[in-house]
Structure 1
Amino acid sequence: MPSALITGITGQDGLYLAELLLSKGYDVHGLVRGQNNPKGWLVEQHLPDVKLHYGDLTDMSSLMRALRESDPDEVYNLGAVSFVAYSWENAQLTTDVTAKGVLNLLEALRLHAGDRPEHVRFYQASSSEMFGKVQETPQHERTLLWPRSPYGVSKVFGHHMTINYRESYGMHASSGILFNHESPRRGPEFVTRKISQAVARIHLGLQEDVVLGNLDAERDWGFAGDYVEAMWLMLQQPAADDYVVATGETHSIRDFLDIAFAHVGVDDWGPYVRQDPRFMRPAEVDTLIGDASKAREVLGWKPKVSFPDLVAMMVEADLDAIRQGW
C-alpha cells in the first residue's frame, strides 16, 4: 500500500486529493496545524481513514516528526496562506508559511530521505498568481514570472526552491502551476464562493445584495476535483517536472455572476451587486489564462467539468446547505 502525506489537507484541494488517494488504495496522512484546528473536523468527519499529524510549515522539527511517523512515498505540499487579499495585510506571515514553509519541508524531506533523495516524491502547489503582470498570453511553463502580491511572490520563491532541490539533490520534486480552481468546498472569503453563497441567500430571501470589488478581472477557472488528479499524475511520472494545469478558457467576474444568478432565475443581477473600493487589490492581476498543452500531452490530463457546470454546482450546493441549516 503506497502512503502519502498531505499538508493543507483541510482545504478544498486537500480534501479532494485525500479522497482520490484513498480511492486508489493509499494510506493517507494529513498535516494539521494545531490540535484545535477549526477545520480538523472536516477530515475527521468526512475522511475517517486519514491519519492526522500535528505540525506547522514554519516548524521544521514538527515536519521531521510527521515524515518519520507517516513514512510517505509521496508528499503533497498544499499548505499555504492562500487568500491573496490577506497577503497584503500579513505579508510576513504569508512569506513565513507560503515561501519559507516550502524550504522547510523540502529540507526536512531531504534529511528524511537520506542517501535516497528520489525515494520520496514531492509535489509543490505553485500558482498562476506567479504570472501576475502577465508577459504573454496564454501563460505556460516558460512564461516570465512577474508576481503582483505578497502571495504571488511567496509562491515564486517556493516554485524556484522546488526546482533547485530537484536539480541540486536529485529529488523527484514537481510543481503544478495551477490556475484558479473552485468547488463547493472553497472558503467563503474567495470571490467565487462569496458569490455562490450570496446568490443562494438572495434567492432564499436571506440577503439583499453582495458587495464586490473589480468585476472585470478575468480568470481561468476550473474544478478543484479535476485538478487534484493532475497533482497525482505528476508524481507517477518517471522524471519530475513542472506543469501548468488550466482549462484554457478565461471568464470575468461578470460572467460568473451571469451564470450564478441565471441558475436561480435572475437575468439582471445589477440591483443585487454593489462595488466597493475596499475590495480592490493594491496591484491587480487583470487576466490569467493557462496553456496546459504539456499536461495534456505528458500526463494525459484534461479538465472534465465546464465553467457553467462549475458555477451551477457551487450555487446548488450552497442552496442545499442553507436549506438544511448548515
Structure 2
Amino acid sequence: YAYWVTKNYREGYGTFAVNGILFNHESPRRGETFVTRKITRAVARIKAGLEDHVYLGNLDAVRDWGYAPEYVEGMWRMLQADEPDDFVLATGGNFTVRDFVVTAFEHAGLDWEKHVRFDERYLRPTEVDALIGDASKAEAKLGWKASVQTDELARIMVDADIAALEHEGRPWYDQVGLEGWPKVGNPGITGV
C-alpha cells in the first residue's frame, strides 16, 4: 500500500515522492531477535565463555545483507535526485545464513560446527528460499553502490558485539567516550 500510494501521489499530484525498496540492512544496532544479530551476539558470548550454543533454523536461506549506514546514504541520495523515482537498495550478494555463521565464528577464532544447533522452532512456514536485490538503477541514477558486503558486515557486527560485551555491566557514564563523547574525568569537561 505504501509503495502504491507513494506512486499515486507522485504521478497524480506531482509530489516529490520516492519509494526506497531496501533489502536487509543490518548493523550492530539491529535487534537481537534478527538472525544476523542473534548470531553475532552469540559469537561474542560464546567467545567470552558465557554461552556454549546458538540455536538456528534454516541455514540454507539466501539473503542480500547490506550495511545500514550505506543504506541511509542511499535514502538521502533518493531525496536529492532531480526527478522522483523508485529505487532498490541492495548489495546484489547472495549469502546463506550458513555463510554468515561461518564468517562470524571464524572471525572470532571459533569453530561454528561446535556451537551451532538446529531448532525447528526457527523454521518459517512461508520461507522464501532467496531474496536478492538489484540496485543497478540506484547506481546508474544516484551513484549509489554498496561497498560493504555481507562477509565484512558479519565481521563489523561481531567486533561490535564483542566490544559491547566488554562494556556490559559497567555504568553508562563509564562507557561514554565511544564515538567522540568525553570520557569521565576528562580534565576539559567540568561537572562530569
TM-score (norm 2): 0.85
Does structure 1 retain, via aligned residues, the 8 Å contact 2:64–2:133? Answer: yes
Note the C-alpha offset of 1:306: 2.6
Q: From 157, 168, 174, give the equivalent of 1:314.
A: 157
Task: Output the CA distance in 1 between the equivalents of 2:122 and 2:149.
Answer: 27
Cross-structure match for 1:212: 56
Does structure 1 retain, via aligned residues, the 8 Å contact 2:64–2:150? Answer: no
Note the C-alpha offset of 1:198: 0.2
Unaligned runs of 5+ in 2: 170-192
SS in structure 2 of the partner of residue 173 of structure 1: coil
Cross-structure match for 2:143: 300
Cross-structure match for 1:40: none
SS in structure 1 of the partner of residue 80 of structure 2: coil
| Aligned-partner residue type, residue 213 of structure 1 | G
Pairwise CA RMSD = 1.1
Cross-structure match for 2:86: 242
How many residue pairs align between the two structures? 169
Task: Output the CA distance in 1 between the equivalents of 2:59 and 2:151.
Answer: 17
Does structure 1 retain, via aligned residues, the 8 Å contact 2:19–2:85? Answer: yes
Runs of 4+ in 1 over 6 A off after TM superposition: none
Relative contact order higher in (CA < 8 Å, ≥ 6 apart): 2
Map 1:46-125 to 2 at 5 A: none
Cross-structure match for 2:32: 188
Unaligned runs of 5+ in 1: 1-156
Task: Output the CA distance in 2 between the equivalents of 1:168 and 1:280.
Answer: 42
**1:285 maps onto 2:128 in alignment:** yes
TM-score (norm 1): 0.51
| Aligned-partner residue type, residue 30 of structure 2 | R
**1:170 maps onto 2:14 in alignment:** yes
Does structure 1 retain, via aligned residues, the 8 Å contact 2:28–2:37? Answer: yes
Cross-structure match for 1:254: 98
